[in-house]
Chains A and B, each alone.
Chain A
């Protein structure tokens, strides 16, 4: 039997992913808990639960055949994978934000802006294309606090409702990328396990109005 291993991201995309695969007839057997590999109600499909940033790595290398990841993480990783299906959940935006009280994009005294972000590659390329040199500071969380503590002038971060930004006195200045959950696939696996892949794609698309794949 041809088996498909699907990498799911822990965190905000996990529950909607599980619901989507359950509707497609592949419900993970029980909760992830401490197990990293979990079987599903379909014997030909097993799930691998990893940190969001690792999904593109697992899929690009072929350690997983498919995966669910956000386009934010995917573009930041630069992973060379197929993106056959938008899943229609996890919508958010990657934005530049800065303190509401400070002018933007001007900075006092001719200095180069420091930008704190979890997305150094995407931030770097955004400002490079805009023709504005910046100094990127990579952090791994609580990005919104960086301007308050003078770690950076601006931040580049993911926003959903914008509540966290507002609570920290920040306003959105520019949108870099509109993001959402996508199904990704390993390039070699898609060709070697084509029938299994197409079967799963059809089941995922079935009855989902937003993705007529």
Chain B
């Protein structure tokens, strides 16, 4: 009989063979071709770094999701939580003297701790791109179009990109005191309109928009309707999304849905943010957006916008 310990792999680790391996390699190759053609230079950052690098980039909130271990000198290392942290570190050091903007790409696994109840992989194959040093609308457009091109290169037809802007809900949320603000954010995140209405019914002004704006999801006309009842502070964000929409080609626009109800990236993103949804997958298959505060945390402030795709989720979608 086979020794059971020979066959064991840790929960959330993956063996991928045969068609599963070929599919991923094919997706990776197609994506890297697109990125190279688009002028993005590949970077191969280390598989592990000091944990501080990941915490600096993504905030203390990710601490419990790092897979950590001590180095020989006792310092704590973590497996690559994301590529963005390493890229920000490299861009602010090795590339400090390089002209802007920087167009960088990557492909490889990221490692994240998942809840013990299991079923979730703790390693994911990603491919992605970062556009550093360019803070205008054109950079946002470039990344959104690049994302759509990457998805098409993966051979997917039935997908949508849900695009939002952090400025839209910031005014309403900013007018609330803690701990109500945290609760309201949670209700928005769960799309729990009943609880939102109960909690906000006696409040005047901007908070009232929180019972409406987070539920706006649709095409250009949804943005235009939202513009009519948005608080003053939300208008620049909405106008930014409208300008993005105007720049897209009809074939691109068909896959873009504006979604003002995403609050998850609010502490990280500073402008547009988006998630990719693919028919047949129960979770987002990619995400991205603008994070202009990231590079400053590595000592070289400059605007940044990027995208990463989850090739494992895409590979598992029935075609």
Contact = CB atoms under 8 A, between A and B. Distances in A.
Contacts of B106: none
Interface string A42-60: 0000000000000001001
Interface string B243-280: 00000000000000101000000000000000001110
A212 to B, nearest CB: 7
A39 interface: no
B194 interface: yes
A192 B160 contact: yes
A108 B277 CA distance: 56
A95 B225 CA distance: 46
A63 B282 contact: yes
Chain B's interface: helix, strand, loop or mixed, by majority?
Answer: mixed
B281 A190 contact: no
A77 interface: yes
A35 B117 CA distance: 27
A191 B277 contact: yes
A194 B282 contact: no
B115 A78 contact: yes
A186 B283 CA distance: 8
Interface stretch (B32-40, B76-84, B185-193, B299-307): B185-193
B190 A189 contact: no
Contacts of B257: 191, 194
Interface in A131-155: none
B277 A213 contact: no
A83 B192 contact: yes
Contacts of A83: 190-192
A62 B277 contact: no
B22 interface: no
B283 A62 contact: yes
Given A188-B277, A191-B217, A61 B282 contact: yes
B285 to A, nearest CB: 8
Contact of B191 (A189, A190, A212): A190
A86 interface: yes
A8 to B, nearest CB: 18
Nearest to A210: B194
Nearest to B192: A83
A187 interface: yes
B197 interface: yes
Contacts of B318: none
Contacts of B278: 188
A212 B195 CA distance: 10
B90 to A, nearest CB: 32
Interface in A176-194: 185-192, 194
A194 B217 contact: yes
Interface in B73-119: 115, 117, 119
A129 to B, nearest CB: 14
A211 interface: yes
Contact of B281 (A57, A62, A213): A62
A85 interface: yes
A61 B119 contact: yes
B162 interface: yes
A212 B281 contact: no
B284 interface: yes
A34 B284 CA distance: 34
A91 to B, nearest CB: 14
Interface string B208-235: 0000000001000000000000000000
Contacts of A190: 191
Given A186-B282, A188-B277, A188-B282, A84 B259 contact: no
A86 B194 CA distance: 7
Interface in A74-110: 77-78, 81-86
Given A63-B282, A85-B194, A194-B217, 20 more contacts: A57-B119, A83-B190, A83-B191, A84-B193, A86-B192, A86-B195, A186-B282, A187-B282, A187-B284, A188-B281, A188-B283, A190-B191, A191-B160, A191-B257, A191-B259, A191-B277, A192-B160, A194-B257, A212-B194, A213-B194
28 contacts: A62-B282, A62-B283, A63-B282, A77-B117, A78-B115, A81-B190, A82-B190, A83-B190, A83-B191, A84-B191, A85-B194, A86-B194, A86-B195, A186-B282, A187-B283, A187-B284, A188-B278, A188-B281, A190-B191, A191-B160, A191-B162, A191-B257, A191-B259, A191-B277, A192-B160, A192-B279, A213-B193, A213-B194
